[in-house]
Amino acid sequence: MKSKLSSVMEDYLETIAMLKKRGDGVVRVRDISALLNVKNPTVNAALKTLSVKGYVVHERYGYVTLTVKGEEKAYDIQRKHDMLFKFLTDILGVDRHTASFDACKMEHAISPKTSIRLTKFIEFSEEGLNKENPQWLKNFKHYLETGKKPSCNMRKVKK
């Protein structure tokens, strides 16, 4: 009964969830096709697939809604996306546009195990009493700019 979804189908779920959470709160075929840059009939076909599998409800000429199963799945994907985006921007320092683009593809590629570890890694980089970056992350940013990692010796150098 697992009937795994393709990454394309996952994208549709993610998009529907995103559209629900903004604008007028309802989701039409047009909105989905606009966001995913596909034509209406393509969206229709996808919705057919997703409704047969129990992820969405879509009556002829009506709005699109997620089932509980669909919401859960969409939420999972969005969490992964947000986590990856954060990792790419906050830790690696990738620009927002590239990070967003890559996160959209990586979210379908990483296993739960990797997802959990990356999440922990982000938490680790944020943990602590002060909200500032930890020193190691500052050192990495410095390394990105200069190609040099502050060594023990360097830290002793004055000025």
Site string for DNA, 15-44 (x = CB under 7 A): -------------xxx--x---xxxxxx-x
> Is residue 8 near DNA by the rule CB under 7 A?
yes
Nearest distance in Å: CB 12, its own copies: 18
Per CB under 8 A, which of residues 28..67 are in contact with its own copies?
Answer: none
Residue 54 contacts which entry, its own copies, DNA, none (Cβ below 5-8 A, type-dependent): none
User: What's the CA dihedral at 95, 100, 101, 105 to 10 degrees?
Assistant: 130
Query: Three-state SS for 5?
Result: coil
Query: Three-state SS for 56?
Result: strand
Element (H, E) at 66: strand 64-66
Nearest distance in Å: CB 117, its own copies: 4
> Is residue 114 near DNA by the rule CB under 7 A?
no
User: Residue 40: which residues within 8 A CB-CB, separation 6 or more?
Assistant: 29, 30, 33
Per CB under 8 A, which of residues 66..95 are in contact with its own copies?
Answer: 88, 91-95
